[in-house]
Amino acid sequence: MTWEKLRKIIENVKRMFKNDVEEVFLEKKIAKIIVKKEKLLELARYLRDIHQFDHVKGVTGVDLSRLKEGGGPYIEVIYHVGSLDDPELNDSILNVSVKLDIDNPVVTSLYSIWPSVEYHEREVYEMLGVNFQGHPNLKRLLLPEYWMDLPPLRKDYKVPGRD
Amino acid sequence: MVLEEKKKIEVYDTGGPRLTFSYGPQHPGTGHFRMIVTVSGDTVVDLEPDPGFVHRGEEKMAEYKTWITNIPHLERPAILDAAGMVIPYCLTVEKLIDVEIPERAKYLRTIVAELDRIASHLYWFSLYGIFLGHSTMFLWCVNDREYILDLSQSITGQRFTHAYYVPGGVRNDAPKHVPKNLVKEFKLYYSRMLGREPREDELSEDFKKYILAVVDFMDLRLDHYYQMFFNSEIFIERTKNIGVLKREDAIRLGVPGTTLRASGVKYDTRVNDPYDAYPYLKFNIPVGTRGDCYDRAMVGFQEIRESLKIIQQAVEQIPDGPIKLKQHPIVIRVPKGEAIARAEAARGEILYYIVSDGTDKPYRLRMITPSFRLLPALKHLTIGSRIADIPPIYWSLNYWPVEADR
Amino acid sequence: MTLEQFNLIRRIPKKTSIFGYTLAYSKNILEAIVEEVVPEDEREEAIKEYGLGKPLKIIKGGETHYILQVIKNNSLIRYLVNWGRMASLWPAHLTTACCSVEFGAVSSSRYDPERFGWIPATGSLRQSDVLLVEGTVNAKMAQRVRMIYDQMPNPKWVIAMGACAISGGLYAKDSYNVIQGLNDIVPVDVYVPGCPPRPETLFQGFLLLRDKILKSRLE
């Protein structure tokens, strides 16, 4: 039941945004929308107002530079969005993702639309080096204060114990 | 800040000088977590959480270990509730491989997960007793928890961090008989606490009867706890109408678990997005009305009762059959792709997102734990309250610092 | 203490205090007393020097021997002071990570450490003797562990609990943030292995610390 409703929502989104949106839909595994950087804010506002997606469960950052198929010099930032007000969408997660350049990853922050992304975006900032513009308090969260190395989750950073 | 919070501070702000201090990492009231608190008189004006004292780099470590040797270190974030941390990992890997596990394995997974949930809630209440100054609750709860851990030890082999789950089933089967001295010790404790001996058909060395006897005992003990602690002046005075979280704020800030249910939203991953043996079992979801600290504790209290019901039904309905798919080696290869799955740990909803490259190690593993999503609620609730209200509010959210830092 | 008092205790009459019992039965006291057999030529001199009753007369196998008992230097004072220190150790437990759950379980009534004087104090550092470091020590937390160790007054001891505090444990090679062992920061007295250690293992750690304190030198 839910996967059909998600499919309808993705069809609506594709109709509204035409060329700026790509979809990845594997039944029962993942439902993802890849959108271009400039249209992210508009898509988020559309999802919140019209389809009642009201909170974000988390934000993930993936460094795609060593992936063999579908990789490249990109960092992908994924927002896992859920809905509590709409009872039919209660058991589904919609993933909205953006692909950024690895040399200069900059994107607008979604704090003005969904306030629950505050701490997740801070963590992606310190672990991967992504700069969120418009975030009220972009500082270090989990790493120690004197960390001067590369951001740890990048594939260039090698853990010092094994070598 | 929202308009309401500004108004609260304007009422209580005495206008005097402000003091900033560190509610630090060695404190019997917080554990390994630090809050930087700004105070004006007795009112908290600003609070900034400072996690990161237990950050061990689990996500980066997972890229250096194979799919099965990943399981012991992924349990360590919430060590009390090891089942809750590892179930969604196994579910995601099973989605990537595209298999369905046998029926007996599903029931065994459910039983161990519920035992871990009860143990985790009892530890939460025992420390709640210490924070409010009622140390009898600490000793009673920790002692009763030992009998639940004995049960868990007889199934899995270790008290709490058992690494019992593998992608494809579980490791061991449940035993048929329980050792004699375990039954003897439990009989002694039963007769001392409840004042009567257990009947012959209630308790014997058979595993099924023993587990049903422990579950009954726990049910009766919960009434004692209610009389002693939850209905006493100390608890009610310090938690009623303190730290009220309204329904819209709870949804907007994205809090999971007991906190969400106490604010009036009926949402539980075991019912809304079921996995394992939960579609075959019947249980209720407790929901609160006011959203204050008292409601959060009572929702946790009712959840223990529901868990006992689930264990009773699962033990009676469990079928025979194999417990895992096949005898797999240490190194397995998972096909390419990405998947996302979630489950209900003791503190709330936990998500895993895994990207696989086709090799024997994951490419990217992301775990979103429930404690990390509670941080905005901590800041929102303590602003405008008194200093002595910080421990009850902080602990009623059921925040575990190791889980948030991973 | 004179030899007369010691003779009283050695015979153990029925009403003695607990202090008498502990002194009499403790191995240290018996070891602290050195017995010298007085050879036959010097018997009269010994009786003149020490008095008539002091060289004891013991009949063994048909022969009589005279024995002098001498206490070694200040081992009695050392024993008393060490006994006072070991019998009431107050811990300041530093919950660093997951092993703190086992510490909570040890303080329960099934394993009861209070009978050994291990009363869980309320976390005040200036009044505690033992620093019990449980769990992984982080780069951010290491600075605070050193500050806490410096704030405790002498005499103080450190117990390292869990595999992570001994050598980095499960996180030894692949983590970028974990310190490989507590020995680099504070001097450790007792290592308790396990991940997490069972309550019985932690108990054996306390008893080993008590033995270590009892045999240590006075400073």
Query: What local confidence, expressed as pLDDT, does residue B329 receive?
Result: 67
- The mean pLDDT value of chain C amounts to 77
Residue of B nearest to C142 (CA): B53
Domain count along chain C: 2
Instruction: Kindly determine whether residue A162 and residue C172, on different chains, have CB atoms separated by under 8 Å.
Output: no
Q: Which domain holds residue B311?
A: 3-405
Q: For residue C180, what is the domain's CATH number?
A: 3.40.50.12280
Same domain, C60 and C103: no
At residue B134, what is the residue type?
Answer: H
The answer to whether the CB of B7 falls within 8 A of the CB of B384 is no
Paired sense of beta strands A131-133 and A106-108, if any? parallel
Q: Give a yes or no: residue C80 inside a domain.
A: no
Q: What residues in chain C have their Cβ under 8 A from chain B's Cβ atoms?
A: 94-98, 100-101, 104-105, 107-110, 122-123, 125, 135-136, 138, 140-141, 144, 148, 170-171, 174-178, 195-196, 198
For residues B314-341, average pLDDT: 84
The verdict on C135 and C197 lying in the same domain is yes
Contacts of A119 in chain B (CB under 8 A): 372, 375-376
If asked whether residues C52 and C101 sit together in one domain, one would say no
Task: Given the cut 0.85, state whether the ipTM is greater than it.
Answer: yes
CATH class for domain A2-102? alpha beta
Identify whether residues C68 and C91 lie together within a single domain.
no
A106 interfacial to chain B (CB closer than 8 Å): no
Range of the domain at C156: 87-214
Q: Which of B338, B357, B405 sits opposite A30 (nearest CB)?
A: B338
From CA B32, how far away is CA B125, in angstroms rounded?
Answer: 18
Looking at the fold, whether C118 and C195 belong to one and the same domain comes out as yes
C60 and C133 in a single domain? The answer is: no
Question: Per the domain annotation, does C57 fall within a domain?
Answer: yes
Residue B18 pLDDT = 84
What is the model's pLDDT at position A92?
A: 82
Q: Is the pLDDT of residue B6 over 60?
A: no
Instruction: Tell me what the pLDDT averaged over chain B comes to.
Output: 87
A-proximal residues of C, 107-166, CB under 8 Å: 138-140
Positive or negative torsion for Cα C160, C164, C169, C174: negative
Choose one of C72, C95, C120: the last residue of a domain: C72
Last residue of a domain, one of C72, C100, C122: C72
Show which of C15, C44, C72 is a domain's final residue: C72
Question: What residues of B are in the C interface, CB distance below 8 Å?
Answer: 24-28, 31-32, 52-57, 60-61, 64-65, 72-73, 76, 79-80, 123, 126-127, 139, 142-143, 145-146, 159-161, 402
Residues C132 and C193 in one domain: yes
Q: Which of C178, B226, C197 is nearest to A160 (CA)?
A: C178
CA distance B7 to chain A (A): 20
Burial of B113 (0-12, 13-18, 19+ CB in 10 A): buried
Domain spans, chain A: 2-102
Q: Are A107 and A98 in contact (CB under 8 A)?
A: yes
Q: What is the chain C residue with the closest CA to A149? A: C176
At position B186, the amino acid (one-letter code) is F
CATH code of the domain containing B50: 1.10.645.10
Q: Cβ A144–C177 below 8 Å, yes or no?
A: yes
Q: Specify the pairing of strand C91-95 against strand C130-134.
A: parallel
Of B127-131, C124-128, C201-205, the poorest mean pLDDT is in C124-128
Please count the CA atoms within 13 angstroms of the CA of B89 that sit on its side-chain side: 28
Q: Does one domain contain both C47 and C91?
A: no
* B60 vs A67, A144, A152: nearest CB: A152
Q: How many domains does chain B have?
A: 1
pLDDT tens string A64-99? 888 888 778 889 999 999 888 887 777 788 899 898
Q: B31: left (phi > 0), else alpha (psi -120 to 50), else beta? A: left
